[in-house]
Amino acid sequence: MTVTFHGVRGSTPCHGHETHHYGGNTSCVSVRTANDVPIVFDLGTGVRYFGKQCNGTTPLRIVCLLTHLHYDHTLGLPFFEPLLRSETTLEIYAPKQPDGRTIRELFREKIKPPMFPVPLEQFAARIEFHEIGDDDFTIGNYSVRSRFVPHIGPTLGFRLGYDGASVTYLSDHQQPVGDTFSIGDGARELCEDVDLLIHDSQFTDEEFAMKQSWGHSTYAYARWVAETCRAKQLALFHHDPSRTDEMLTELTDQIACSTKVGVFAAREGQSVLVGA
Ligand SMILES: [Zn+2]
Ligand SMILES: [Zn+2]
């Protein structure tokens, strides 16, 4: 599997020389293999760049595994160029909502005038929605595991398996509040023995002390999850928009020096090969 980071920020896009190296687009990560359908985790503003890579492929079928509906994970959808073509099919797997509203309804409410010039149903592509929860299923030759994880609102994490290799995407994950780290059963089922763990690392310990209920994790907690679940590699992800390149490199070095897990900070445009 080739895992490519198209957007690595949380909360809001950012821009400027201080964030240029790691990039300013919000959450979007694609997974490709030689023969199977491309999979994309989340539809943050990074999905525009994934869309450019898809240009020229017709017909095009893409599967999106969407963690939740916060803007930083959905804002890129109407800017995803393949949606302008009738030969495109986009299948979106997203968390079912406790109030019974469908994901299609919720996107239709967001993507229409006056909030957006074109209503969702006028895009040429076919968009299909699948509402899921704690599930295990297959897409082509991929095995997919989805589990609800603690965040703000219904939120999924995903584990993708392919030909003996595995990648887990745990973008927004509320760290337990208090002195002791722990992990819920669902998140553990996603992370155990995974080859690449992409994990929320929005806050430093000092920031978390001020923002304990904002739904996110610290660098230290991401490291602890990776170690506890025996992940082989940890990609620090969902960088805070205020995190400069210099700070992020320094924090990553500190974490990498203190663990046997391979650690790197996800960077826009970076590709990682997982498995054969
Ligand atoms: Zn987020
Ligand atoms: Zn969120």
Q: Please provide the DSSP assignment of 128-143 as one string.
A: EEEEESSEEEEETTEE
What is the rounded distance in angstroms from the CA atom of residue 214 to the CA atom of residue 230?
27
* Residue-level pLDDT at 59: 78
Q: For residue 172, report the distance from its CA to the centre of ligand 1, in Å.
A: 5
- Ligand nearest the Cα of residue 151 is 2
What is the rounded distance in angstroms from the CA atom of residue 263 to the CA atom of residue 35?
29
What is the rounded distance in angstroms from the CA atom of residue 222 to the CA atom of residue 175?
9
Q: For residue 55, report the distance from its CA to the centre of ligand 1, in Å.
A: 27
Amino acid at 26: T
Under CATH, to which class is 2-273 assigned?
alpha beta
Gyration radius from the chain CA atoms:
18
Q: For residue 59, report the distance from its CA to the centre of ligand 2, in Å.
A: 32
Q: For residue 173, report the distance from its CA to the centre of ligand 1, in Å.
A: 9
Cα distances (Å, whole numbers) of residue 221 to 173, 213, 224, 250: 10, 15, 5, 17
Cα distances (Å, whole numbers) of residue 179 to 37, 107, 116, 221, 261: 43, 39, 44, 11, 23
> φ and ψ at 103, to 5 degrees?
-65, -40
* Residue-level pLDDT at 158: 98
**Across-strand partners of 29?**
5, 41
Q: For residue 99, report the distance from its CA to the centre of ligand 1, in Å.
A: 21
Q: For residue 72, report the distance from its CA to the centre of ligand 2, in Å.
A: 7
* Residue-level pLDDT at 57: 76
Cα distances (Å, whole numbers) of residue 103 to 59, 129, 144, 165, 242: 25, 7, 20, 30, 31
Full pLDDT tens readout for the chain, 276 residues: 999 999 999 999 999 999 999 999 999 999 999 989 999 999 999 999 999 988 777 779 999 999 999 999 999 999 999 999 999 999 999 999 999 999 999 999 999 999 999 999 999 999 999 999 999 999 999 999 999 999 999 999 999 999 999 999 999 999 999 889 999 999 999 999 999 999 999 999 999 999 999 999 999 999 999 999 999 999 999 999 999 999 999 999 999 999 999 999 999 999 999 997
Q: For residue 218, report the distance from its CA to the centre of ligand 2, in Å.
A: 15
Q: For residue 215, report the distance from its CA to the centre of ligand 2, in Å.
A: 7
* Residue-level pLDDT at 55: 76
Q: For residue 57, report the distance from its CA to the centre of ligand 2, in Å.
A: 31
